[in-house]
Structures are given as structure tokens and as C-alpha cells.
Amino acid sequence: MSTAPRPRIITIAFWLTMVGAVLLLAGGILGITTSLTTPVSAFPASMGQGQAHRILLMHGGVGAVLALAGLGLSFLAGRTRNGDKRFRRALAALAGVVVFLVFLIALFAPYNLELLTLIGVVPVAIGATLFTRPPAADWFEDAS
């Protein structure tokens, strides 16, 4: 923990990351709920029941992964705000993976991601970037 006062950029990065993490969590839970409540009969008959079931299963699995990522990002953001640079590195890595994963899913998945998930990656990416800016990096160096 640093004895220097926390820079404003750390507070802004923390809250941006938390907002994005909550949106990812909500989007993930919405994806799980959607996959559990959508009947297979909602899909076109030409698709087949097995393929529709696999799409619903994949949609729920991706929702669960995104919800867990939101929880992980919120945990890491809290620890990073306290000045531990190990958690800052982990937060930056997890944020990068989540943004890349959402990008790939949005491009190649046979279904649409929830709007909350798509909006949620923007503040996560900005918050993780702000944690690595020079004023923030200097504060983390003083903290160790």
C-alpha cells in the first residue's frame, strides 16, 4: 500500500472497470437466462432440434464465462485500487482476453451477444488502459 495519495486516474480507472464488470456480469446472467428459457421450437424447423439445442447450450456457456469474467474483473479492480501491481497486471491481461473473446464471439457466433456485454467491454478496456498510464504506473512503483 502506497503512502502517497491515490491519483485521480486510479479512481477513474477503478470505476470504469467496475461499471464494465457489472455490465459483463449482467450480460452473462442474461445470456444464461435466455438460453435456459428459450424453447427449441423458437428456432426454424430447417435447423434441426439438435443444432438448436447446441446453440442454446453454447449461448449459456458463453454467458457463464462472461459472468465469471465480470466477477474476476471486479475482484482484480478492487485489489488494484489498493496499490498491488501484481493485480494490475492480472487485470490488464484479463481485460485484454475478455475484449478479444467478446470481439471473436460477436464476429463468429451463430447468435447475437447481449447488448450489455457489448457495451460492457468498452469501459473495461478503457479502465484497464488507464491503470497502465504513466501517472498510475508511477504510483504503483511507489506502492511496492
**CB of 14 closer than 8 Å to CB of 130:** no
Q: How far apart are CA 76 and CA 87, in angstroms?
A: 6
Integer Cα distance of 8 and 78 in angstroms: 15
Taking only the tens place, the pLDDT of each residue in 111-135 is: 888 999 999 999 999 999 999 999 9
The tens digit of pLDDT for each residue in 53-77 reads 999 999 999 999 999 999 999 999 9
Is the torsion defined by CA of 108, 114, 118, 124 positive or negative?
negative
Contacts of 84 (CB under 8 A, 6+ apart): 143
The 10s digit of each residue's pLDDT in 80-95 is 999 888 999 999 999 9
**Residue 77 identity (one-letter amino acid):** A
Model confidence over 20-65: pLDDT tens digits?
Answer: 999 999 999 999 999 999 998 899 989 889 999 999 999 999 999 9
